[in-house]
Structure 1
Amino acid sequence: MPQNMEISQQHEHGHEHEHIITDPNSINTPILPTRTTTTTTSRVKTRFTNLHWHGVKPIPLLFATITGLLIRFAVPKPAKVSTRAWTLLSIFVTTVAGLVLDPLPVGAWAFVCLTLSLITKTLSFEEGFSAMTNEVIWLIVVAFFFSRGFVKTGLGDRLAMYFIKWLGRKTVGLSYGLVLSEALISAAIPSTTARAGGVFSPVIKSVAVSNGSVAFDKKSAKKIGAYLAMSQLQCAGNSSALFLTAAAQNLLCLKLAEELGVKIASPWVFWLKTASVPAFVALLLTPLILYKLYPPELKDTPEAPALAAEKLKNMGPVTRNEWVMVGTMLLAVSLWVFGERIGVSSVVAAMLGLSLLLLLGVLDWNDCLNEKSAWDTLAWFAVLVGMASQLTNLGIVSWMSGCVANGLKSMNLSWPAAFGILQAAYFFVHYLFASQTGHVGALYSAFLAMNIASGVPGVLAALALAYNTNLFGALTHYSSGQAAVYYGAGYVDLPDVFKFGFLMALINAAIWTVVGGCWWKILGLY
């Protein structure tokens, strides 16, 4: 046994560490203090090792800034464009470049660029924040709160389980059950990302694991999980295009279209009527096409209905909060359809629904405060919409659209040919974007103006661009929030995301062009 014992107590004072040797018979009585000194080199090395940079990403910041500076100072300003308008364009391009390169989170970057526009006196404070009172943006924010209630009450899970119980004996039937359930609830959950992350990705994972298909396991992922995830991802865009309130960007598109003079009466009903036929055809064909091109190894899932029935049993009867959620959504949808006749706007209808959910305890205010995506959307949507609106007011959008339209006219293209070229360009440029709403804020107004200047009927151009905004959300793993969710689930390989994203984009384009074109002709859009 040792004659004494050392208890090391380190009290850091600058760079000194004290070691106290104590008497083994009385460990509370120190008898020999000693000191050791840490070298300056070690201390500096430790500090640099522990240094973590949490601010802006320097390289993306550099490229985004250079892009804007080149437009402002290197590109000659057109004679028809004012200096103020050209400066705002350079700031707007810097903002868009930041959305692509991601030097900061989207909301933070938008705020920085808005501040730049105020410091340079390109915009006044009132102009910079003018979109904060935009009804469409607040409708989007309230819709996010609705989606939280849908997930919190478990109503979304319950509906998905019923479809699996009814259609889930075959793998392709299981896919149809998931796809149709998303189409059904999409009007009530205006965030494809929320539907993916809060409802369908967890359901797909549960079903896949129960059938021996494990995420991040290449041997078993394609057994069933990869097909279900891919099918749901490729169908999500059509579900979002089906209802005006199925995705936040839909509302933004119509708002921007209105600023260019394209107004649609009874927008909720007209949107549904216009999108219904091509969207339903695409929803019915996509799972079957992928079943042939990206087949699951497991064709039959006899356990899925039993699994869904068991989960429904565990969930118990429909709860009070679920019934309240159903009633509130029916009220909101009814007002969205008929509200204009009684003087109730869409945003007021949504606010009424949210107020009922708060008053009846389905949601509490903390639920709303914790819905960070809603407040983030309010911030950066407002900045983008405000800038886009001022670009229109200052004549930039009309100048750009005129240049492109004149170029297309010089090629002696008919308006249908110009329409096809512009729609394709708008669609595939999304490879440069990591956000559908960012894409809309950056390019929708310009492309709509180009379409109109080329002779394309305004309503047709506005709706086609809006539908494409939903469809290109499955191009890549970064093209939308739902794409990130389904890829991140671990069942689909990255090369397959790009391969089938491009392939299904072409197939969707064919469906919407042929079926949609015929349907829109019947409706008189052109």
Structure 2
Amino acid sequence: FSFRGLVTQPLPTGAWTLCCLAAALVTKTLSFGTAMAAMCNETIWLIVISFFFAKGFEKTGLGERIADIFVAFLGSTTIGLAYGLTVAEALLAPAMPSTTARAGGIFAPVVGFLSKSVGSTPLKDRRKLGAFLTHCCLHTSALSSTLFLTGAAQNLLCVSIAQQLGVQINDTFVLWFKGAVVPSVLSLIMIPAMMYVLVPPELKKTPEAPALAREKLREKGPPSRDEWIVLVTLAGAVVLWVLGEKLNVAPVVAALLALVTLLVTGVLTWRDCLMHQSAWDTLVWFSIVVSMSAAVTQSGLTSFVAKLVGGALQKHKLGWQAAFGILHLAYFFAHYCFASQVGHVSALYGTFLVMMTMTGAPPVLAALTLAYSSNLLGSMTHYASGQAAVYYGSGYMSLPEVFSIGMIMNLRSLLTFGVIGMAWWKFIGWY
């Protein structure tokens, strides 16, 4: 019932999880302590603090400046413009854990500005430039979220569920990036080139774009003190995330140090943090979902369902590799029935992870590749994720395009991760 509501969303996610919490407490299904235990979860606080950190990018204008810099250097051709936005998205992903915020706060406005500057609007000549760039940004967002642990909220939810199920994932930030880097970067390189064929822009050269970007940069002036502080603080946080295990610094502590730096230097005020609705909303629903997921796991339901399906696969005497592939495809395409990546992960991730390990898949391989898939599927429909809704709402994509191109690009993602990814994971010793 709880997870069905996360899928159908009769209420906003935070409100629905509070309803579920109340129902669980009234029926004494869970005690208050059990239901709220995840409030102490380091992973959840890492997400919340990352939202505050992202506010620094938004408030100082550093995120938009980074996008403008890449447009200024690479934007003289349409495909160069797309690659510039792709690189900017990948660079911002580890610092902004909300793909919706990246889409709605930075990239959709930049694409709209560039497109309209050459006469490409949602109502007239959308295929001139806007459709091409919008499709590129949508599919790039799914890959940039896959590349970094802090690239999306559902990444940390996946890790939390996997750890509850007993999967030992050490040095999480580095391990995640190590597994994702090769297939993700190759996929990112492919996206603008494939879109150039699938949604060919009528405008091939965009000499105005670099000039417009440079003009915006001139208006902004040199990077401000606050922008430099955000940039240096981000670099320090990333270093601590990478070296944290060796230095005995937990990821959440590194994030907290970064936030404190922004508060002490005045880049952010406590009011900025208090007014960040998405962060507090995430703290509420995420902690309740994690607690309920843990309760479902402890009840034995996940293991029961996994044994039924896993047993059926074992009866057919499939090797773990074949079962691994079948389960990945089932998990991936089930997202056509979901309107939320978090809902998808909450409902299916734990069960599919148990089924994979039961059929012999190495636990770390199963846990992280399922988590990667949880990002890739965010671009398959206009309702697949928050960023998909933002880009579709811009008016530059038609519904048939979203579904047809989404299918093609997601099949390409599955092929890249299934072939090149498996070879890479073999090379780094995951199986």
Please tell me the TM-score bracket, short chain as reference: over 0.9
Q: How far apart, CA to CA, are the structure 1 residues paired with 2:35 and 2:148?
A: 31
Please name the residue that 2:86 is paired with: 179
User: For structure 2, which runs of at least 5 residues remain unmatched after alignment?
Assistant: none
CA deviation string 1:59-117 (max 9, x = no partner):
xxxxxxxxxxxxxxxxxxxxxxxxxxxxxxxxxxx111112222211111111111111
Please name the residue that 2:365 is paired with: 460
Deviation at 1:131, TM superposition (A): 0.9
Say if 1:190 and 1:248, in contact at 8 Å, map to a contact too: yes
Q: How far apart, CA to CA, are the structure 2 residues paired with 1:148 and 1:438?
A: 25
- Percent of aligned pairs sharing the same letter: 53
Q: How many residues of Structure 1 are paired with residues of Structure 2 in the alignment?
A: 431
| In the alignment, structure 1 residue 419 sits paired with structure 2 residue 324 | yes
Q: How far apart, CA to CA, are the structure 1 residues paired with 2:133 and 2:176?
A: 28
Of 119, 130, 137, 2:44 maps to: 137
Say if 2:120 and 2:127, in contact at 8 Å, map to a contact too: yes
Matches within 5 A, 1:230-269: 230-269=135-174
Of 402, 405, 410, 2:310 maps to: 405
Say if 1:384 and 1:442, in contact at 8 Å, map to a contact too: no
Which structure dedicates a bigger proportion of its chain to helix? 2
Amino acid at match of 1:204: V
| In the alignment, structure 1 residue 376 sits paired with structure 2 residue 281 | yes
Deviation at 1:123, TM superposition (A): 0.8
Say if 2:169 and 2:364, in contact at 8 Å, map to a contact too: yes
Deviation at 1:430, TM superposition (A): 1.0
Say if 2:138 and 2:387, in contact at 8 Å, map to a contact too: yes
* 1:337 alignment partner, SS class: helix
Please name the residue that 2:220 is paired with: 315
Instruction: State the Cα RMSD in Å.
Output: 1.0
Q: How far apart, CA to CA, are the structure 1 residues paired with 2:337 and 2:272?
A: 34
Deviation at 1:331, TM superposition (A): 1.3
Q: How far apart, CA to CA, are the structure 2 residues paired with 1:189 and 1:422?
A: 30
Please name the residue that 1:386 is paired with: 291
Please name the residue that 1:435 is paired with: 340
Matches within 5 A, 1:143-222: 143-215=50-122, 217=123, 219-222=124-127
CA deviation string 1:230-285 (max 9, x = no partner):
01101111111111111111111111111111112211111111111101100001
Q: Higher relative contact order at CA 8 Å, sep ≥6: structure 1 or structure 2?
A: 2
Q: How far apart, CA to CA, are the structure 2 residues paired with 1:181 and 1:371?
A: 24
Q: How far apart, CA to CA, are the structure 1 residues paired with 2:387 and 2:77?
A: 25
Q: How far apart, CA to CA, are the structure 1 residues paired with 2:159 and 2:34?
A: 21
Amino acid at match of 1:300: K
Of 214, 228, 240, 1:335 maps to: 240
Q: How far apart, CA to CA, are the structure 2 residues paired with 1:460 and 1:384?
A: 24
Of 225, 233, 248, 2:130 maps to: 225
| In the alignment, structure 1 residue 470 sits paired with structure 2 residue 360 | no
CA deviation string 1:429-465 (max 9, x = no partner):
1112121122112211111011101111111111110
Please name the residue that 2:415 is paired with: 510
Please name the residue that 1:519 is paired with: 424
Of 11, 34, 37, 1:104 maps to: 11
Q: How far apart, CA to CA, are the structure 1 residues paired with 2:346 and 2:271?
A: 29
User: For structure 1, which runs of at least 5 residues remain unmatched after alignment?
Assistant: 1-93
Of 197, 200, 203, 1:298 maps to: 203
Deviation at 1:340, TM superposition (A): 2.0
Q: How far apart, CA to CA, are the structure 2 residues paired with 1:185 and 1:229?
A: 17
Please name the residue that 1:73 is paired with: none
Say if 1:160 and 1:177, in contact at 8 Å, map to a contact too: yes
Amino acid at match of 1:423: H
Deviation at 1:391, TM superposition (A): 1.3
* 2:94 alignment partner, SS class: coil
Q: How far apart, CA to CA, are the structure 1 residues paired with 2:428 and 2:325?
A: 20
Q: How far apart, CA to CA, are the structure 1 residues paired with 2:59 and 2:393?
A: 22
Q: What TM-score, normalized to structure 1?
A: 0.81
Q: Which has the larger radius of gyration?
A: 1
Please name the residue that 1:501 is paired with: 406
Amino acid at match of 2:115: A
Deviation at 1:508, TM superposition (A): 0.8
Deviation at 1:394, TM superposition (A): 1.8
